[in-house]
Chain A
Amino acid sequence: MPEAGLSAGATPLKLTAKDFKSDQEVRWCPGCGDYAILAAMQSFLPDLGIPRERIAFVSGIGCSSRFPYYLNTYGMHSIHGRAPAIATGLSVSRPDLSVWVVTGDGDALSIGGNHLIHALRRNVNLKILLFNNKIYGLTKGQYSPTSELGKITKSTPVGSTDSPFNPLSLALGAEASFVARTIDSDRKHLQSVLRQAAEHQGSAFVEIYQNCNIFNDGAFEVLKDPQTRDEYVIRLEHGQPITFGKDGEFCVTHPPGAFGLRVRPTAEVSPDEIVVHDETVAEPAYAFALSRLPESDLRHTPIGVFRDVARPVYDDLVRAQLDSAKEKVTRSADEELAALLGSGDTWTIL
């Protein structure tokens, strides 16, 4: 296990956002939502209290995957879709690191879908940030697996015939132990979700709605516009009844005998019918029902932490097996090796 001088000369923990800025020029399009996420991340990382050298960002391919270049931590810009697999290898072999995956809707849900679901299923100790702009940006404007049906893009001139993934439903179906959604422009909310994700043991899956102002501008505008956002966004807060609207005039209920959750005018229901949000519900059906609330026009989009439950962490399970095997070792590594090579039936020639 390379400990790489962790004790000696570790950087002091009183860091600022500046300490996390790399010397690389940021090259996203002016006005891209990624800038806001980067700035939020740079100013959030010092709060983690983890030395810079113990943080690693691994990304795939796409606009969002340039992210690691702009953070002064360890980082790898890998290949399309494979970041969760590469990060799993790093995380499992290096439990001392805080490992983050930065990915996009095409990277995570199209070419890399398999790695994403298996990382979540295993509950690897990764913080997975999916920047969802519902479009392929780096390849200049093709529809993505989260683009809506009928989306007109360069590759679908008369409209996409694909139905989209709901990333949170997918993550929940893959047994994710932490699932959240936030929005690029809401720095405070973004940082609070990142903080909770960082504290979670195991895989944390965070969908970040991110505006691509070149190829899909305004995709989430209704969630941001002061005129509409109160009626469109449902802010989830653990332990609080789920109400929204300018004056809390809407709420979420669980109609008896029905599957799923429903939005109702608050005035029409008795207070004890309103669902009190609980991130820790073991049964994933609740978070799944929350993930199904948004209408196709984004009305009733919950943001916040949907699910945060404790489940055995893959890294720990692997490590425990290694540790228990190593405990039985009584000889030097060379002696153990000699014993292994000479195991089974041997014979001697004089």
Chain B
Amino acid sequence: MTKQVRQLDRVVIRFAGDSGDGMQLTGDRFTSETAQLGNDISTLPNFPAEIRAPAGTLPGVSSFQVHFADYDILTPGDTPDILVAMNPAALKANLGDLRPGADIIVNTDEFTKRNLTKVGYDANPLEDGSLDGYVLHPVALTSMTVRALESFEISKKDAERAKNMFALGLLSWMYSRPSESTLRFLERKFAARPEVAAANIAAFKAGFNFGETTEDFVVRYEVSPAKMAPGEYRNVTGNTALAYGVVAAGVRSGLPVFLGAYPITPASDILHELSKHKKFGVTTVQAEDEIAAVGLALGASYGGALGVTSTSGPGVALKSETISLAVALELPLLIIDVQRAGPSTGMPTKTEQADLNLALFGRHGEAPVAVIAPRSPADCFDAALEAARIALTYRTPVILLSDGYIANGSEPWRLPDVSTLPDLRVEFASEPNGPDGRFLPYLRDPETLARPWAVPGTPGLEHRIGGLEKADKTGDISYDPANHDYMVRTRAARIEGIQVPDLEVDDPDGDARVLVLGWGSTYGPIGAACRALRQRGLPVAQAHLRYLNPMPRNLGEVLRRYDRVVIPEMNLGQLASVVRSKYLIDAIAYNQVRGLPFTAAELENMLEDVVKNA
């Protein structure tokens, strides 16, 4: 039969199933195929903390959302246009998020009485008319996959497990995706089990062909490539980009990188990734605990390495004392906090921005550190390099605040020309800097206020440092009141004096009276909301902070330009408090802590009110 082909400018797909159904992999592959086609992409994985929650239950549902378009997009999309539900739990957990009239593909094999009861369906939603507002495509995914693989010498279990590839094949047909990269991927993934590789490929093709032949699917869609800047691209998650940024910082500084880390969700992937890159001189140690992890990194920094530790909020809390030591020692240290919903264990796989106060203030004594935050998955690369620049130039701990949303989410990344990355080379102290050939470990650079980095092994510069207050210049132990006052103020001045670029404001027509100020991963939804408002003729300005400490010099002036300043955050108003106290601006805090990113639509609604009443 001839299928109709329809052009779309954007599509949001959500794959949902049991945590054992391979939805993350399916989503990843679809994303990769889509990237090959040159669409702009943004993805949002969402999965339970349990590795295998009880099968078929609501807590066990794992999903992967991918938004792709023929223009540049900023978020993974608010409301899916199509849901692939591998079981009743996946349908029930995700139905509420769909737009009216969305397509739903369900695996009918899983809609048994038992599975329906398990999630509280009294009647089969596929038959009781409750899905009449959607376009339902019932597909017997499991049994069709098993039938397609009858000729393969694999177990029934292996055959059933290939149903996600059948689904992927079907969706690849439906959205005209190129399949070569998936076929290559399957060959690689199952290289040790060729029969399983062949079966998965067969399942994928069966799904693709099913779309081609069945009468249930009459429309096939195309989304043209987006107009993106020329260059070579890849898709990248925030955690991968962050790890690459750390590797790049090592290469560009010429220093060995030393990562001390303790496994913690959602930061562990940074440890996994960096442990693969030993050829760049990257040492990774899985420490006995979070405190040891930062101690190892600091010990390595003392020895002349770029010391890095990666963790999430609970880990930062444990590292707090050592970070203060690093403040006193004035050594470079990079602390990566991939924030998750807290307090305590909270919701480890869900996102939040509630560690800003912890990063800014969570230490004993006057212990300021630099704090910066990436705005998107790909931006994690640049943010890591920038964090390393600050740490190395100013000899200070730097806290980088990522979060679960950008850590696991992905987007296309235009690969940088390596030779244009910043030069991060540092000079170690090599000779005495004081009178009579004495070495003064706390004699500062007048520009940066940084002290010399004199690494053990350097003859003539033997010196002792420690957590006790040090006398200016000599670094000797000092309890002198005036000296302590001076040192506290000088350490603060060193952080305050870090050179950061001015804040840029996006206000295309220059007539906005309302400014939306954000930081970190809210960039996408805020940006999408602002665009939507402007398209409706409602002017609004957007500015996004990368530097949380010190803040850009022009921030106060920017804030005062607008009648209203709105600060949306995935916390209860932490940046808003800082802005209010620092700049005496009556900022409007808009907050949500649901473990999920803002939707562009809710921000648009909220901002519409503010703009209309400004």
Contacts and interface: CB of A to CB of B under 8 A. Distances in A.
Given A345-B235, A349-B233, A56 B456 contact: yes
A333 B477 CA distance: 42
A53 B300 contact: no
B280 A336 contact: yes
A61 B325 CA distance: 12
Interface string A35-74: 0000000000000000111101010010000001101111
Contacts of A335: 418
B296 interface: yes
B459 A74 contact: no
Interface string A249-280: 00000000000000000000000000000000
Interface in B205-236: 225, 228-235
A325 interface: yes
Contacts of A76: 302, 329, 464-466
Interface string A99-117: 0000000000000001100
Contact of A333 (B38, B235, B251, B460): B251
Interface string B560-604: 000000000000000000000000000000000000000000000
Given A86-B298, A328-B279, A337-B280, A96 B285 contact: no
A115 B292 CA distance: 7
Interface in B245-267: 247-248, 251, 255-256, 258, 260
A340 B247 contact: yes
A346 B32 CA distance: 9
A94 B456 contact: yes
Nearest to B32: A345
B456 A53 contact: yes
B416 A5 contact: no
B321 A79 contact: yes
Interface stretch (A6-14, A188-196, A228-236, A294-302): A6-14
Contact of B477 (A24, A85, A340): A24
A91 B464 CA distance: 17
B287 to A, nearest CB: 7
B304 A2 contact: yes
Contact of B467 (A79, A329, A336): A79
Contacts of B468: 77
A322 B260 CA distance: 15
A186 B181 CA distance: 72
A77 B256 CA distance: 24
Contact of A94 (B181, B303, B415): B303
A139 interface: no
A200 interface: no
Contact of B325 (A78, A90, A334): A78
B497 interface: no
B457 A92 contact: no
B303 A90 contact: yes
Interface size for chain B: under 10, 10 to 19, 20 to 34, or 35 or more residues? 35 or more
B20 interface: no
Interface in B1-53: 32, 35-36, 38
B559 to A, nearest CB: 37
Contacts of B277: 340
Interface string A1-26: 11111100111000000000010100
Nearest to B243: A340
Interface in A319-349: 321-322, 325-326, 328-329, 333-338, 340-349
B283 interface: yes
Nearest to B289: A114
A161 interface: no
Nearest to B465: A76
Contacts of B466: 68-69, 75-78
A325 B464 contact: no
A93 B256 contact: yes
A322 B300 CA distance: 15
B302 A86 contact: yes
A219 interface: no
Contacts of A79: 321-322, 325, 467
B295 A74 contact: no
A68 B464 contact: yes
A132 interface: no
A103 to B, nearest CB: 13
B283 A322 contact: yes
A348 B233 contact: yes
Given A77-B468, A322-B278, A69 B477 contact: yes
A29 interface: no
Contacts of B511: none
B462 A4 contact: no
B455 interface: yes
Contacts of B460: 9, 11, 53
A76 B225 CA distance: 57
B305 interface: yes
A127 to B, nearest CB: 15
B232 A342 contact: yes
Given A68-B466, A85-B291, A345 B283 contact: no
A313 B476 CA distance: 35
Given A78-B466, A114-B292, A333-B251, A85 B415 contact: no
B291 A337 contact: no
B251 A337 contact: yes
A330 to B, nearest CB: 10
Interface in B409-423: 415-416, 418-419
B295 A86 contact: yes
A187 interface: no
Given A4-B458, A53-B458, A349-B228, A329 B279 contact: yes
Contact of A54 (B287, B302, B321, B457): B457
Contacts of A68: 464, 466
Contact of A89 (B251, B288, B297): B297
B463 interface: yes
Contacts of A73: 462
A224 interface: no
B462 A52 contact: yes
Given A89-B300, A115-B292, A349-B233, 17 more contacts: A4-B457, A53-B459, A74-B456, A75-B465, A77-B466, A85-B291, A90-B299, A97-B303, A115-B288, A325-B278, A325-B279, A333-B251, A336-B251, A341-B248, A345-B36, A346-B233, A348-B231
8 contacts: A1-B281, A53-B458, A78-B325, A89-B303, A90-B303, A115-B295, A318-B285, A346-B234
Q: Which 7 A-B pairs have the closest CB atoms?
A: A89-B299, A77-B466, A85-B295, A2-B304, A325-B278, A89-B296, A74-B456
Interface of B: 32, 35-36, 38, 181, 225, 228-235, 244, 247-248, 251, 255-256, 258, 260, 277-281, 283, 285, 287-289, 291-292, 295-305, 307, 321-322, 325, 329, 415-416, 418-419, 428, 430, 455-468, 476-477
